[in-house]
């Protein structure tokens, strides 16, 4: 997951410099404008009109959800890893989504977080996607006896192997912290290996 600083076009449309002192709490308008590829003013006006009709404000979840649903977007449950824990944005893949994090909305376009600050370290809660967008599917693996699925554990295993290879190289050149990180990656590999072995064994056993 990459990151690009983006205010949704607010500073350009209002002719103000994109400085920290000029930032406002407009994450809902900003994220929606970016994800829907709309003008900032258009998005702001439409959200404010809807909120006035409903007696709320644009930052109310009920308001921006109704707006997104009217645009053909749907709500999705939080993505989770093999242990059932929520995934941080840096480890998630998405081509187009509006993600709720901690009291914040952020836009993802082409696997890139586009916001006024980097939220990749935050966990991904519920998120919104266009209804016609194809969701990632589980990988089917066919055998002679049955068909079974490989879970998210395979991605976790690959990620930890890559981490170990990177950190162990740094450790060779005297980076002690990298040694700690490589040991942590090895422990994760052991844990995930047990999970994968269990899943594969269960998949091999025919259902009665």
* Rounded Cα distance, 59 and 65, in Å: 10
Q: Cα-flanking dihedrals φ and ψ of residue 202, to 5°?
A: -65, -35
> Tens of pLDDT along 146-160?
444 445 677 777 788
* Architecture of the CATH domain 2-130: Alpha-Beta Complex (3.90)
CA distances from 122 to 35, 43, 86, 136 (A): 19, 25, 10, 21
> Tens of pLDDT along 36-64?
999 999 999 999 999 999 898 988 999 99
* Rounded Cα distance, 49 and 43, in Å: 10
> Tens of pLDDT along 69-82?
999 999 999 988 87
Q: What is the mean pLDDT of the chain?
A: 84
The full set of domain ranges for the chain reads 2-130, 139-204
């Amino acid at each position: 997951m990459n990151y690009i600083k983006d205010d949704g076009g607010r500073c350009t449309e209002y002719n103000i410099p994109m400085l920290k002192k000029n930032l406002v709490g407009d994450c809902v308008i900003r994220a929606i404008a970016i994800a829907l590829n709309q003008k900032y003013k258009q998005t702001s006006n439409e959200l404010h009109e809807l909120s006035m009709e409903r007696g709320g404000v644009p930052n109310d979840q009920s308001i921006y959800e109704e707006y997104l649903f009217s645009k053909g977007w749907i709500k999705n449950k939080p993505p989770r890893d093999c242990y059932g824990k929520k995934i941080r944005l840096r480890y998630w893949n998405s081509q187009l989504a509006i993600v709720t994090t901690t009291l914040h909305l952020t836009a993802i376009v082409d696997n890139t977080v586009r916001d006024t600050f980097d939220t990749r370290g935050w966990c991904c809660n519920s998120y919104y996607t266009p209804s016609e967008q194809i969701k990632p599917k589980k990988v089917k693996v066919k055998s002679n006896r049955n068909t079974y699925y490989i879970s998210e554990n395979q991605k976790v295993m690959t990620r930890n192997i890559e981490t170990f290879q990177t950190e162990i190289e740094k450790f060779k050149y005297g980076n002690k912290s990298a040694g700690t990180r490589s040991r942590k990656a090895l422990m994760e590999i052991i844990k995930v290996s047990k999970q994968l072995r269990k899943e594969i064994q269960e998949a091999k056993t025919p259902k009665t």
